[in-house]
Structure 1
Amino acid sequence: MSPALPEGALRALGRTEGDADTLGLLVRDQDTRRFVLLRALLDAAAQAPGTVCPPELRHRVAADWALLEAADHADRAAARSVLLYPLVGPWALRCLHGLTGAAPGPELRTDLDHLGALAVAAAIRARLSFTARLTTRGPVLSLPTVGALDVRPGVVHISSGKGELTLRQAGAAEIVVRLDSGTARPGDPRWRSTRTLPPLLPGAAPVPMDDLDPYRTAGGSPEPHGLSAAVRVGGPGRRSWAQAWEGVAAQLRTGGHQRLTEAAVLLRCLVPLAPPPGSGRAGGSAAHCSGTRRDAFGAVLSSPPATPAHFASTLVHELQHTKIAALSAMTPLHHEGPDARYFAPWRPDPRPFDGLLQGAVSHAALADYWQRCALGADRADQRDLAWSEHARRREQVGAVLPVLAGSGALTPEGRVIVNELISLYHRLAEFPPPTGHQARARAYVRTARVIWQQRKDSKRL
């Protein structure tokens, strides 16, 4: 077993669980990887040829890094809340690829300019007095975790001191934003503070609902992955999200004590997506899409949830992907290749083995969550919905367990995960759903397999 992860912790993750200490191991490893990535970026900028990173840009990177170090020295926790913010990961990877690639694209300078925005955000959160000069090439200047300013492309001068943030740009009236404990309060319509959702547990941090960060879908459009586009959330949308969020903690608690723990420990930001086709203008139906990104640990991308129960189920589902991806970074779970050739009843397209394993863990967690919701429901309609969801998720997991268990490419750690997954699958049978739900779930999976096989056969012709 991996020396960094005790067997008990590994077994808990295989059961889709994990207490705060186990989850903390994943968090610390991911945080360490972020610092290594940032160090690699700084070194790459220093070593890149002048054609890639000209001297003036290299000097700008060094100055921005110095401000980051000053913020870290003044208030380490505040500064690192910016450096470890999930959406810094996609930005850092883009910069590193641009600095080390054979042909850096024209966006590299824009990407490196964003380091200044990160440094300013960290300095604001650390309550430093400072002056800075940022360059923006678009209509919005984003300060991650703090807010965003509508601007014209060009230079923006920023100063902070005496509880105020002042932003100036030639040809425009200056903006003064009041600061409170390192966060900004709006005082001008051109400024939008990053919105947050209340903590899930007492003492935990608020959860940013980030519709401002320019790197929230960096690395390509989300549409090819079955996701809607990232959107700005207006007043009515904010109220809908807030109302759904109010019931999430209670729903997670009903769905298992570990569900609330994993959300409080792992969730670092929500990125709102547009409602998918078929969900209506307000996203009020059950039609929904969500996802996570390996390069943005702690971020969940989601379209508007229909109900608190569905909002909670989205977190349960996506945070399993977060856990297994982080675990896989610590220790390999298998040696299968990347070929997409496996049937997964939750997807219309073939999946690679890694996607099959992650999907099985996520759907097993959903089966467990919905079963607990069904057993704890007071109303018949809530109970009926929960049993329906449970039966389908468990049947989907059962359809792929033989493939996972029969793989000769599992590592010892991967074998523990799959064995615990099998144990969970059988434990869920102790409280079976009503017969009608079970029959419909089996028919659903059989139909999904037939359709998948037909598509597979048609591609051979």
Structure 2
Amino acid sequence: MTSPHVLAAESFDELLGGGGGSATVAALRASERSWRLLVVRALLDASAAHPLTDAWQLLMRARAVDEDAFEELLAYPAVGVWAAHTLRRLRATAAGDAPPDTGYLQAVAASAAIRAGLDFRTAVPVHEGWAVLPALGAMRVPDGSTAEVTAAEGQVLVAGRPLGGPDWHPLTLLSADGCALLLDDADPYRTLRTPVPTEPVAAEDWQELFSAAWEILRGLDAEAAGALGDGLVTLVPRPRAERFRPHSASSGDAFGAALASVPDDGEQLASTLVHEFQHNKLSAFMHLFTLYDDQGAAGRLHYAPWRDDPRPLGGLLQGVYAFFGVTRFWRERQHPLGRFEFALWRAQTAHALRGISAAEGLTESGRRLLAELEARLAPWLAEPVEERARVAAELAAADHRATWRAYHLRPDPRVVRAHAEGRPEGRGEPELVTGTPARGFDTRAVLLRWLLADPAGFEALREDPGATVEGARPEDIALVTGDTAAALSAYRERILRGAGDPETWVGLGLAARSAGDPAGEALLARPELVMAVHAELGADPLEVARGLLSCPA
């Protein structure tokens, strides 16, 4: 009889506080191994129509010769994504056009056997012209749906071509002092979802960025960096995103993986690694402990200050945990952009924590997690930040919160009607109705980042801001540079000519607040109500907002 995993009290407390040293990460990796075995066992049981006996036998041969090779392949992040996705397909809980990809296990077995030095012969799937050997690389195979892999006397051939030949694309090991990650640009399951093609990237660029990121992480906290290095296994490269708008991801099925777009610099990559490792840790923690009850939290969505869409409780827990780590990272960065990021994310994380601390569905462990994070964050809220960065962060936070409300909340029609008729006694609660944003809620925040980090670059984008920052408009430039009168006039005119999207209404509120007009506070507090009343009356938008100041909260 197997024993359940037991997390030491010290490790439990570390994780509740958003941290976790090397011993804690080792415990999480051990528990994730058991989780992975359970998923693979369930997959084998569910695959009666797609027998996996040959692949499993080859895996067991590899394990008998080199158990470390077997364990590394079992724990490989993309293997976890494949196993979970394929199990869902076999159980008909996930949709897909192609049959379940049970053949991938043959590729896993081949990789383990190659590492163990076995002689063998097997066939692996070919996906869009590539035969992938997980954690090793990919062979270009122009034709066929499968490729034969043979190993004899130390020579390995894939579709008759040797590993190391011109058609072979090996994975690159990114290395720095105390850390090494595989740059996985080959595995079909590396992007944490359904299969994607192999897309080789320039590894030299990533090595330079990773070295810079690791130097920053080691310099900030060598112990925390060591734990991150122990936990992460792969870095999955994605195409470059817009500057100051990086894309990253992780998955509870893929402990040890971080997906990241080409970063602007090593500092941005360091922040991304911290962000995604926080997700990794919490996902593993949630495999051991229940933080919320699915039934108790079912159907309830919440505001997440780092997302444009409403989020379920589980997603918001992941967000506050990740952005607690991001806040801690930026707290140590003293340049203007770093001060802005720290001021922004401490405020937004605190806002989210306050918003869900009493949420329905939280377990005792979930409440303890939130209380511990809130207690650790509290002293940071009082730390001084240079005024320019602080004011910019306050604008970005107010912008995001108000724009979210404007898109996703609909006021009670009775309240709207009462205000339109000049009798503002109504109090009904707004309804959450998910909207479709016209642009990213961070657009003005991105402009602020340009202004703080690259003033010369900011000047160059003034003439046509939307060409560089997607969704940006001239009036947004006026707002973030302090030209309040121009911004106020432009936002108001856009609304009066019928082009008043939520971003414009919130921009009007931000500009009015900067000008000392009380309409600004009303607009930022309840933009959805101001917009609805204006739609009824067609009156001056600022006058409508001022008229709502007496409305019950």
Q: TM-score range, shorter-chain basis?
A: 0.7 to 0.9
Alignment match, 2:172: 195
Alignment match, 1:78: 69
For 1:54-93, what per-residue CA distance to the aligned partner results, in whole angstroms no more than 9, with x for missing partners?
Answer: xxxx2xx211111100001110111221121000112112
How far 1:41 sits from its partner (Å)? 1.6
Q: After the TM superposition, which residues 422-433 of structure 1 pair with which residues of structure 2 at under 5 Å, given as runs? A: 422-429=374-381, 431-433=383-385
Q: Between 5-14 and 99-108, report the one with greater CA deviation.
A: 99-108
- Helix, strand or coil: the match of 1:134? strand
How far 1:154 sits from its partner (Å)? 4.1
Contact 1:340–1:350 under 8 Å retained in 2: no
Alignment match, 1:32: 34
- Helix, strand or coil: the match of 1:410? coil
Contact 1:37–1:92 under 8 Å retained in 2: yes
Alignment match, 1:328: 286
How far 1:408 sits from its partner (Å)? 5.0
Alignment match, 2:486: none
Larger Rg: 2
Q: After the TM superposition, which residues 282-293 of structure 1 pair with which residues of structure 2 at under 5 Å, given as runs? A: 285-293=243-251
For 1:5-32, what per-residue CA distance to the aligned partner results, in whole angstroms no more than 9, with x for missing partners?
Answer: 3443222113221111112221111111
Q: Do structure 1's residue 404 and structure 2's residue 406 form an aligned pair?
A: no
How far 1:105 sits from its partner (Å)? 6.3
Q: After the TM superposition, which residues 342-421 of structure 1 pair with which residues of structure 2 at under 5 Å, given as runs? A: 342-374=302-334, 383-407=335-359, 409-421=361-373
* Matching residue's letter, 1:176: P
- Helix, strand or coil: the match of 1:198? strand
Q: Do structure 1's residue 207 and structure 2's residue 181 form an aligned pair?
A: yes
Q: Distance in 1 between matches of 2:93 and 2:216?
A: 50
Contact 1:231–1:272 under 8 Å retained in 2: no
* Matching residue's letter, 2:224: R
Specify whether residues 325 and 105 from structure 1 end up closer, same or farther in structure 2 by C-alpha distance, changes over 3 A only. Answer: closer
Contact 2:343–2:389 under 8 Å retained in 1: yes
- List alignment gaps of at least 5 residues for structure 1: 169-173, 178-185, 222-228, 280-284, 375-382
How far 1:115 sits from its partner (Å)? 1.4
* Matching residue's letter, 1:213: D
Q: Do structure 1's residue 134 and structure 2's residue 136 form an aligned pair?
A: no
Alignment match, 2:269: 311
Specify whether residues 75 and 104 from structure 1 end up closer, same or farther in structure 2 by C-alpha distance, changes over 3 A only. Answer: same
Q: Distance in 2 between matches of 1:123 and 1:199?
A: 28
Q: After the TM superposition, which residues 437-452 of structure 1 pair with which residues of structure 2 at under 5 Å, given as runs? A: 437-452=389-404
Specify whether residues 102 and 92 from structure 1 end up closer, same or farther in structure 2 by C-alpha distance, changes over 3 A only. Answer: closer
Q: Between 435-444 and 293-302, report the one with greater CA deviation.
A: 435-444
Contact 1:255–1:372 under 8 Å retained in 2: yes
Alignment match, 1:21: 23
* Matching residue's letter, 2:167: R
Pick one of 284, 299, 305 that aligns with 1:339.
Answer: 299
How far 1:256 sits from its partner (Å)? 2.6
Contact 1:10–1:417 under 8 Å retained in 2: no
Specify whether residues 274 and 135 from structure 1 end up closer, same or farther in structure 2 by C-alpha distance, changes over 3 A only. Answer: closer
Q: Do structure 1's residue 234 and structure 2's residue 192 form an aligned pair?
A: no
Q: Do structure 1's residue 164 and structure 2's residue 155 form an aligned pair?
A: yes
* Matching residue's letter, 2:43: L
Specify whether residues 384 and 103 from structure 1 end up closer, same or farther in structure 2 by C-alpha distance, changes over 3 A only. Answer: closer
* Matching residue's letter, 1:366: V
Alignment match, 1:377: none
How far 1:254 sits from its partner (Å)? 2.9
Contact 1:391–1:441 under 8 Å retained in 2: yes
The CA RMSD measured in Å over matched residues stands at 2.5
Q: Between 419-428 and 331-340, report the one with greater CA deviation.
A: 331-340
Structure ranking higher on relative contact order (CA contacts 8 Å, 6+ apart): 1
- List alignment gaps of at least 5 residues for structure 2: 411-432, 435-531, 533-553
Alignment match, 1:226: none
Q: How many residues align?
A: 407
For 1:306-331, what per-residue CA distance to the aligned partner results, in whole angstroms no more than 9, with x for missing partners?
Answer: 11111110011111111111111111
Q: Distance in 2 between matches of 1:155 and 1:230?
A: 15
Alignment match, 1:175: 161
For 1:301-358, what per-residue CA distance to the aligned partner results, in whole angstroms no more than 9, with x for missing partners?
Answer: 1100111111110011111111111111111112252435211221111111222222
- Percent same amino acid at aligned positions? 29
Alignment match, 2:216: 251
Alignment match, 1:378: none
Specify whether residues 347 and 218 from structure 1 end up closer, same or farther in structure 2 by C-alpha distance, changes over 3 A only. Answer: closer
- Helix, strand or coil: the match of 2:311? coil
Alignment match, 1:69: 60
Contact 1:41–1:95 under 8 Å retained in 2: yes
- Helix, strand or coil: the match of 2:150? strand
- Helix, strand or coil: the match of 1:34? helix
Q: Do structure 1's residue 121 and structure 2's residue 111 form an aligned pair?
A: yes
- Helix, strand or coil: the match of 2:182? strand
Alignment match, 1:217: 191
Contact 2:85–2:194 under 8 Å retained in 1: no
TM-score of the superposed pair, with normalisation by structure 2: 0.69
Q: Do structure 1's residue 269 and structure 2's residue 246 form an aligned pair?
A: no
Contact 1:142–1:213 under 8 Å retained in 2: yes
TM-score of the superposed pair, with normalisation by structure 1: 0.82
Specify whether residues 104 and 66 from structure 1 end up closer, same or farther in structure 2 by C-alpha distance, changes over 3 A only. Answer: farther
Contact 2:169–2:200 under 8 Å retained in 1: no
Alignment match, 2:499: none
Contact 1:208–1:268 under 8 Å retained in 2: yes
Q: Distance in 1 between matches of 2:363 and 2:177?
A: 35
